[in-house]
Structure 1
Amino acid sequence: MTTGTRGGAGGESAGLRAALSGLTTRGRSFLAAGLAAAVCAFVLGQTALLQVGLLITVLPLICVYALHRTRYRVSGSRRLTPVRVPAGAEARVQLRMDNVSRLPTGLLMLQDRVPYVLGPRPRFVLDRVEPGGRREVSYRVRSDLRGRYPLGPLQLRLADPFGLVELTRSFSTYDTLTVIPRTEALPPVKLAGESGGFGEGNQRSLALAGDDDVIPRGYRYGDDLRRVHWRSTARYGELMVRREEQPQRARATVLLDTRQEAFEGAGPDSAFEWAVSAAASSLLHLLERGFSVRLLTDTGDVVPGEGGGGFSAGAGESAEAAGLMLDTLAVVGHSDGSGLARAYEAVRGGQEGLLVAFFGGLDEEQAGLAAKMRQRGGGAVAFVLDPAAWTGRAPQDSAGGPAEQRLRRLREAGWTVVPVPPGAGFGDMWRQAAAGAPDAPWGPAAATGTSAGGRS
């Protein structure tokens, strides 16, 4: 960024007007006091007072002109570490200013624009930067609310030594901080009906039938020389080997209910935020266990994409898929839909594997659709959150009432149903799902532990 650039008569006058608008309260007070002294001196005929008034009036004008004529060439950069943080964690922002001109700078004031949820705007004062010199400052930001927050643009304020004039220049670039949901490390238990990763259980026969890829790859240290593809080696001028058999990975779908009418309340401790954090924890846990995973919402949207049914690809791309799904959960909000029909259509497409669902309140129709989502080829676990209990109101249904009948309907369809009480730790709920989730009414959390957002 170059400050104080000039060009043409029109640009010169516009620059002067902008510089005059940069007068501080002190500078305007000097002008007002000087003009008042000059008028009084003219009326009273006091020459000495007139000289003082002119001096006080001219001083801020001189500062305006000098600051306008100043030509600082300053470049700035920002480094954000890390660019993706869990809610409640801190990220460090490092600012660097380089004086690329041959003249030393005067007093510089830096201000970075940040959303209010990340804290107050950081301000720094740099006294003097020598030619070719640089200064580095840093600050920290944190948010308890997930989302994507822009950082910048960086603003540079030029001030004269008397504090009479301040001019602001802005850089054009900015960075984005992604605050993802809090996640919890889950116990390594096996859910009911779950087949293990990389083709174990129901998928094992498919894994043993994997086909060789027809496209060879470059030789890597440790590859069996018997797999060298000599024709491709001669063609490319380097050792090429046939790829190993690619076993079909066990699949898992994490379904997140985002319907507005299914949840009540807002804030970090609300039922919806619990469901989002629990979904993020499930995705990471299943990816670590070698599953090919996809994220599905009630709107029918699939992440990481439609290719291959939306499931994550090979093990080498698990980190990329996890980042994409966490970025999606960082900004997911309530949907305008009132039903699970689109999610049912996405699941009904014949995709086998484990289904882990997080439901809010279910009426009779939605409970029927959820029951139909259960596939014969894999397990299905439903974590159901009662909106009435999570908002502090008494549950609308007693044991054996309509709500319990809907849960029983899911169980009869083959779901492992886990009612989630307010404040429950997701690790405890995960263990209950592995144990078969014995029938338990909604109520206060019976087990102690960290909630789904308790550990990053």
Structure 2
Amino acid sequence: MTARPHRRGWARLTARGWGLVAAAVVVFVLTQVLRRQELAYLACFLIAVPVFSLAWVALRRLAVTVRRRFDPESGVVDQRISVALYLQNWGRVRTPAGVWTEHAASPLRPSRPAPLPVLPGYASATLDEPGLNVLRYDLDTRVRGAHRIGPFEVTLSDPFGCAVRRAELGGSDVVLVTPTVYELARIDLRLSSGDGAEQVSRRLVGAGEQDVIARKYLPGDSMRRVHWPATAKHGELMVRQDDQRNDQDAVIVLDPASFAVPGAAQVTAGAGRRARRALIDDSFEWAVSTAASIALHLMNEGFGVRMIGAAARTGVATGASDVAEVQTAPFGAQRVVQDLAWAEPGTAEDPIAFRIAVEEAALTSPDAPPVFAVVSGASGAAARIRDLATMSSHAVAFVVGEQRDPAVAAELRGSGWTVVEAGPYERLTALWKALGDARGLG
């Protein structure tokens, strides 16, 4: 992006500058005590240096613009994202010495301070635009979310090192750090037949082998999907792309409202505020990662996925009229993980939207849709999703929390849900495999 005009901060003295001021005061006192006129000249010199330094940094203007690029534009938690800063000096004089850093919204850490290279002055008669100077650093990607990066900050100093001033250059950009996605094993579920009167076992593989379409292998494809006959025929690695003739949709419900901090405070009574905040964050991050992993797994197996409860880009939860769109592989996977990057605990989603998503999935599918829900183990969390089990061919609820209210799981089981209880540090792959070993029977 093109930078805004820089914002000028207040100039201030450094420790060296204050030391010169203190020395000037002492020398002035000695002038009166010792009656030595030459000491007055020294005192004037000592006080003149910090005054000059303050004026130098306060009046110095930086005509520098900053553009920012991320590589890649978004990434997964703990993935390396490189930031390139393109600086151009539009002023006629070269830039002074300084130290630069990039701000980052909490909880990310700003970049480490580094010396600002000297940018030569711009002579418009010789160049159409100033030359580019590129600065690079790696972004902190420990935390999932939509993080605001910037502005670019320069700390200017005078030649004597007696005064400094901070100047913010340019605006900010948002980078998405998407949740961690785990590769899940195939499992059997009991899905109802088209009329809903009978339960039949169906494996989550999309269509049959006779309906397989082979395509070229792409980075990130699972080796389990390699189609060996097509690979031998074409002489290059080919993978299965199942025909979605059944048009089966699945619904994934993430309920951020159940992960609100007040609920966590009730479950974790006696814990400090910071400990409760850390606990609820870990539980919610596990929930987001679980929702993303299940969504991508179902898409890869030929399902259309309706994700509800993830879109919080505007800070306002979706309403009942905002029906979750059907996402399919390969492009829907990126949309889902990007939406989940914006998810925040405590966002109040209308429970009616959950029901509408399941009803819409039933209208566009020959079978009653499977529903996967991820909720907190806090008291009262079951009420918002309880009735969805009667609308689903197979309803699986992940109840997440370090200290879970037993009534939540009991209420969901009594309503027809298959319940998987999990702590925020348990392995999703192991829980998913256990679910498959049980053949999805509630």
Does TM, scored on the shorter chain, surpass 0.5?
yes
Matches within 5 A, 1:73-222: 73-119=63-109, 121-126=111-116, 128-131=118-121, 132-193=130-191, 200=207
Question: 2-side partners of 1:105 and 1:403: how far apart?
Answer: 63
What is the TM-score of this pair, normalised by structure 2? 0.67
Q: Is the 8 A contact 1:295 1:302 kept in 2?
A: no
Partner SS, residue 280 of structure 1: helix
* Residues 77 and 95 in structure 1, CA contact (< 8 A), matched pair in contact too: yes
Equivalent position amino acid for 2:78 in 1? G
3-state SS in 1 of match to 2:430: helix
User: Is 1:249 matched with 2:247?
Assistant: yes
Match of 1:41, SS state, is: helix
Q: Which runs of 5+ in 1 are unaligned?
A: 6-14, 205-245, 397-401, 441-456
Shift of residue 274, structure 1, vs aligned partner = 2.4
Percent of paired sites with the same residue: 22
Shift of 1:267: 3.5
1:383 matches 2:428: no
1:333 corresponds, among 335, 338, 345, to 345
Residues 374-431 of structure 1 deviation map (CA, whole Å, 9 limit, x = unaligned): 33xx6324134374xx33x8x85xxxxx777646534xx4x54444467442223323
1:37 to partner: Cα distance:
1.8
Distance 2:153 2:408 in 1: 56
Are residue 310 (structure 1) and residue 310 (structure 2) matched? no
Contact 2:253 2:309 in 1 (8 A): yes
Q: Compared with structure 1, are the counterparts of its residues 175 and 39 closer, same or farther at alpha carbon in structure 2 (3 Å cutoff)?
A: same
Residue deviations 1:28-57, cap 9 Å, x none?
Answer: 322332243234325533122122111112
- Counterpart of 2:358 in structure 1 is 347
Q: Distance in 2 between matches of 1:290 and 1:171?
A: 48
- Give the whole-Å Cα distance in 2 for the aligned partners of 1:358 and 1:72: 51
Q: 1:62, CA displacement in angstroms?
A: 2.7
Q: Please give the alpha-carbon distance, in whole angstroms, between the structure 2 residues aligned to 1:75 and 1:153.
A: 11
In the alignment, residue 113 of structure 2 is paired with which amino acid? R
Q: Which amino acid aligns with 1:409?
A: G
Name the counterpart of 2:126. none
Distance 1:267 1:184, change over 3 A: farther
- Verify: 1:34 aligned to 2:34, yes or no: no
Structure 2: how far apart are the matches of 1:299 and 1:95?
A: 30
- Equivalent-residue separation in structure 2 for 1:111 and 1:365 (angstroms): 43
Specify whether residues 435 and 166 from structure 1 end up closer, same or farther in structure 2 by C-alpha distance, changes over 3 A only. same
Distance 1:419 1:192, change over 3 A: farther
Structure 2 Cα separation of the partners of residues 439 and 115 of structure 1: 45
Aligned pair partner of 2:289 in 277, 281, 285? 277
Q: 1:292 aligns with which of 283, 294, 304?
A: 304
Q: Where do 5+ consecutive residues of structure 2 fail to align?
A: 122-129, 192-200, 212-243, 269-275
Alpha-carbon distance in structure 2 between the residues aligned to 1:37 and 1:322: 70
SS, match of residue 13 in structure 2: coil
Q: How many Å separate the matches in 1 of 2:153 and 2:311? A: 41
Post-superposition offset of 1:88: 3.5
CA distance in 2, matches of 1:74, 1:364: 55
* Residue matched to 2:232: none
Q: 1:146 to 1:365 in 2, by over 3 A?
A: closer
Q: Is the partner of 2:120 in helix, strand or coil?
A: coil
Q: How many residues align?
A: 368
What's 2:14 paired with?
24
Distance in structure 1 (CA, Å) of the matches to 2:382 and 2:56? 71
Find 2:430's aligned residue among 423, 428, 431. Answer: 428
Say whether the 8 Å CA contact 1:2–1:71 is kept in structure 2.
no
The one-letter amino acid paired with 1:355 is V
Rounded Cα–Cα distance in structure 2 between residues aligned with 1:4 and 1:346: 47
Shift in Å, 1:184 = 0.4
User: Which entry has the higher C-alpha Rg, 1 or 2?
Assistant: 1
Normalised by the length of structure 1, the TM-score is 0.65
- The 1:56/1:133 distance shift into structure 2, 3 A limit, reads farther
> Distance between the aligned counterparts of 1:305 and 1:368, measured in 2?
14
Secondary structure (helix, strand or coil) at the match of 1:153 reads strand
1:409 match: 414
SS at match of 2:83: strand
How far did 1:69 drift?
4.8
Q: What do the CA deviations read for 1:191-216 (whole angstroms, capped 9, x no partner)?
A: 33287899859xx9xxxxxxxxxxxx
